[in-house]
């Protein structure tokens, strides 16, 4: 069978998958498309220049081994970077970069020259004297890279942010869009990038602003009839950080003005950093032309932190506050607050406050009470009707049969299971459960609960019923 780009690449992928973590595989290899195979040269398409740089930096050896296994010692790899063209021309274009590992992989394809993305535009509008105005960056120095702990959940966003901080405007991730749910560190990371840039490039004008404040300023400027001054002010910024960009949704005027500012900054090689609680595809009521610009650079997601990262964040916080906390309580917190780092921090602060105000030790009991305040209980209320429905369906009978007076064993068992789960998942009394499940009395329900308990410890098949139903009811 002759080799195709797909077959070669798919073999490479199986090899690669076996050699790196699943997370890394998903992030860096799944998005790649095999495009072409010419003799010994495999062309792969990657989503961005950043992607290409990352692969070359971290995975070039692995790629080489994988490719050599497939295509022999003369194997070559050609990257094709998918990009949207920026100005005027809507045609997407690609940039080909042969792997930098040139010793073995010679005979490269000719590079297709990149269109000049940032023609030097002189700002024709500079207000005389405005450059002398010192612009306060509005950055919070407490949000730094040092205390933004790294984990699987934030690795891409954090590294991209760091790369941007090292070379603002000089990487292909412009804009850098950081997105993710509430309390996962978007604002922190955005500040950290700004703080780092200020440290490395003190002469650069960095400005952090929330989209909300930006909108207010804009409205104000329209009222005061100085919309142009507003725009000019933003156009002289070197690094513009706009937090919670999803708040521009539905605000056509603000979007329009932001569009012009964005274009100006981007064309002049200035860095734009955005955060959003949604991925660009999920943003609503944001103009298409603006959305398409958000996608020019890199969109990096902040995911829910894994257990180890949560533990590390807690410990780091405690360390910075000079507080000691028993290990089992740290673990308890990390196990119970999973989806929001702000809530995790809130719980720690309240725990410390409670224990110091009341001069009490930090105990698991106290931790449990506080966690209850922080974790929203969104468990769905399970009703007795619902339980009967689920149990009947599971045993493929109807609810009337389940409630009937018959003594057939499998029906009796189903009924007992319904009673057992009604006791377990609702606050109803035994009597009330009995009256709702086929007009039985409280003693029958009690007996049912005991029977289910007994059977599930002696009968394997029966235990499986209990487990299955438990799963269905708690979904």
| Contact of 144 with 192, CB cutoff 8 Å | yes
Q: Count CB-CB contacts under 10 A for residue 213.
A: 15
Interface positions, 258-317, toward ligand ADP (CB under 6 A):
313
Per rule CB under 6 A, is residue 329 in the interface with ligand ADP? Answer: no
Per rule CB under 6 A, is residue 208 in the interface with ligand ADP? Answer: no
Give whichever of 149 and 370 is closer to ligand ADP, judged by the CB atom.
149
Interface positions, 14-53, toward ligand ADP (CB under 6 A):
none
Distance, in Å, from the CA atom of 233 to the CA atom of 212, rounded to the nearest integer, reads: 17
Minimum distance of Mg ion from residue 204's CB (angstroms): 23
How far lies 81's CA from each of 187, 313, 446, in Å? 30, 36, 68
Give whichever of 44 and 178 is closer to Mg ion, judged by the CB atom.
178
> What tokens does 136 get?
């306060």
Minimum distance of ligand ADP from residue 187's CB (angstroms): 3
Choosing among ligand ADP, Mg ion, none, which partner's interface includes residue 32 (Cβ < 5 to 8 Å by kind)?
Answer: none
Residue nearest to ligand ADP (CB): 185
Total binding residues for ligand ADP by CB under 6 A? 16
Total binding residues for Mg ion by CB under 5 A? 2
- Determine the 3-state secondary structure of 358 from DSSP: coil
Give whichever of 63 and 189 is closer to ligand ADP, judged by the CB atom.
189
Per rule CB under 6 A, is residue 341 in the interface with ligand ADP? Answer: yes
Give whichever of 98 and 175 is closer to Mg ion, judged by the CB atom.
175
| Contact of 301 with 157, CB cutoff 8 Å | yes
Look at residues 310, 274, 306, 308 and name the one whose alpha carbon lies nearest to residue 293.
274
Choosing among Mg ion, ligand ADP, none, which partner's interface includes residue 304 (Cβ < 5 to 8 Å by kind)?
Answer: none
Q: How far is CA 364 from the centre of its chain?
A: 30
Give whichever of 42 and 313 is closer to ligand ADP, judged by the CB atom.
313
Q: Which of 99, 174, 187, 444 binds Mg ion (CB under 5 A)?
A: 187
Per rule CB under 5 A, is residue 246 in the interface with Mg ion? Answer: no
Give whichever of 272 and 313 is closer to ligand ADP, judged by the CB atom.
313
Sequence-distant (≥ 6) Cβ neighbours of residue 13 within 8 angstroms: 29
| Contact of 413 with 402, CB cutoff 8 Å | no
Question: Which range binds Mg ion by CB under 5 A, 184-192, 266-274, 277-285, 457-465?
Answer: 184-192
E runs forming strands in 392-463: none
Minimum distance of ligand ADP from residue 213's CB (angstroms): 15
Choosing among Mg ion, ligand ADP, none, which partner's interface includes residue 247 (Cβ < 5 to 8 Å by kind)?
Answer: none
Cis amide prior to 175 (ω within 30 degrees): yes
* Residue 135: Cβ-neighbour burial (10 angstroms; 0-12, 13-18, 19+): middle
> What tokens does 296 get?
């020019």
Distance, in Å, from the CA atom of 55 to the CA atom of 80, rounded to the nearest integer, reads: 13
Q: Count CB-CB contacts under 10 A for residue 121.
A: 11
Interface positions, 158-197, toward ligand ADP (CB under 6 A):
180, 182-188
Give whichever of 169 and 305 is closer to Mg ion, judged by the CB atom.
305
Look at residues 418, 409, 425 and name the one whose alpha carbon lies nearest to residue 459.
409
Give whichever of 187 and 413 is closer to Mg ion, judged by the CB atom.
187
Longest dimension (CA), the chain: 95
Minimum distance of Mg ion from residue 184's CB (angstroms): 9
Q: Which of 50, 79, 148, 425 binds ligand ADP (CB under 6 A)?
A: 148
Minimum distance of ligand ADP from residue 347's CB (angstroms): 12
Give whichever of 341 and 417 is closer to Mg ion, judged by the CB atom.
341
Taking 3-state DSSP, the helix, strand and coil percentages for the chain, each rounded to the nearest 5, stand at 55, 10, 35
Choosing among ligand ADP, Mg ion, none, which partner's interface includes residue 345 (Cβ < 5 to 8 Å by kind)?
Answer: ligand ADP
Distance, in Å, from the CA atom of 221 to the CA atom of 227, rounded to the nearest integer, reads: 5
Distance, in Å, from the CA atom of 219 to the CA atom of 285, rounded to the nearest integer, reads: 19
Question: Which range binds Mg ion by CB under 5 A, 180-188, 282-290, 396-404, 410-418?
Answer: 180-188
Look at residues 208, 290, 293 and name the one whose alpha carbon lies nearest to residue 254.
290
Give whichever of 193 and 391 is closer to ligand ADP, judged by the CB atom.
193
Which residues bind to ligand ADP, rule: CB under 6 A?
147-149, 154, 180, 182-188, 313, 341-342, 345
Which residues bind to Mg ion, rule: CB under 5 A?
186-187
């Amino acid at each position: 069978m002759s080799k195709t780009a797909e077959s070669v690449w798919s073999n490479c992928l199986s090899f690669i998958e076996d050699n790196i973590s699943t997370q890394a595989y998903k992030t860096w290899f799944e998005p790649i498309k095999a495009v072409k195979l010419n003799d010994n040269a495999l062309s792969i398409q990657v989503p961005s220049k950043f992607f290409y740089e990352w692969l070359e930096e971290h995975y070039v050896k692995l790629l080489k081994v994988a490719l050599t296994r497939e295509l022999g010692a003369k194997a070559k790899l050609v990257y094709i970077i998918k990009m949207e063209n920026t100005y005027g021309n809507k045609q997407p274009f690609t940039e080909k970069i042969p792997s930098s590992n040139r010793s073995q992989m010679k005979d490269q394809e000719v590079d297709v020259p990149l269109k000049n993305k940032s023609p030097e535009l002189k700002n024709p509008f500079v207000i005389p004297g405005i450059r002398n105005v010192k612009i306060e960056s509005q950055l919070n120095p407490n949000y730094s890279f040092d205390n933004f702990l790294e984990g699987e959940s934030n690795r891409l966003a954090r590294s991209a942010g760091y790369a941007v901080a090292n070379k603002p405007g000089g990487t292909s991730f412009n804009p850098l869009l950081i997105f993710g749910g509430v309390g996962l560190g978007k604002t922190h990371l955005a500040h950290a990038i700004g703080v780092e840039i200020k440290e490395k490039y003190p002469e650069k004008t960095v400005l952090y602003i929330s989209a909300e404040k930006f909108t207010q300023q804009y409205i104000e400027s329209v009222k005061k009839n100085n919309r142009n001054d507003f725009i000019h002010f933003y156009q002289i910024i070197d690094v513009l950080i706009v937090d919670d960009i999803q708040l521009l949704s539905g605000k056509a005027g603000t979007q329009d003005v932001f569009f012009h500012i964005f274009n100006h900054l981007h064309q002049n090689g200035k860095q734009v950093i955005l955060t959003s609680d949604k991925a660009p595809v999920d943003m609503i009521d944001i103009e298409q032309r603006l959305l398409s610009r958000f996608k020019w650079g890199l969109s990096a997601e902040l995911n829910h932190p894994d257990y180890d990262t949560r533990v590390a964040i807690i410990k780091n916080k405690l360390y910075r506050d000079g507080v000691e906390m028993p290990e089992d309580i740290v673990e308890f917190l990390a196990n119970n607050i999973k989806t929001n780092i702000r809530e995790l921090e809130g719980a720690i602060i309240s725990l410390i406050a409670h224990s110091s105000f009341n001069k009490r030790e930090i105990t698991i009991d106290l931790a449990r009470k506080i966690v209850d305040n922080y974790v929203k209980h969104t468990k769905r209320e399970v009703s007795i009707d619902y339980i009967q429905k689920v149990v009947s369906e599971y045993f493929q009978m109807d609810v009337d049969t389940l409630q009937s007076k018959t003594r057939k064993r499998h029906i009796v068992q189903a009924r007992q299971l319904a009673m057992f789960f009604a006791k377990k998942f609702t606050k109803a009394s035994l009597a009330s459960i009995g009256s709702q499940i086929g007009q039985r009395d409280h003693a029958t329900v009690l007996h049912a609960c005991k029977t289910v308990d007994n059977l599930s410890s002696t009968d394997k098949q029966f235990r499986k019923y209990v487990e299955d139903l438990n799963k269905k009811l708690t979904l």
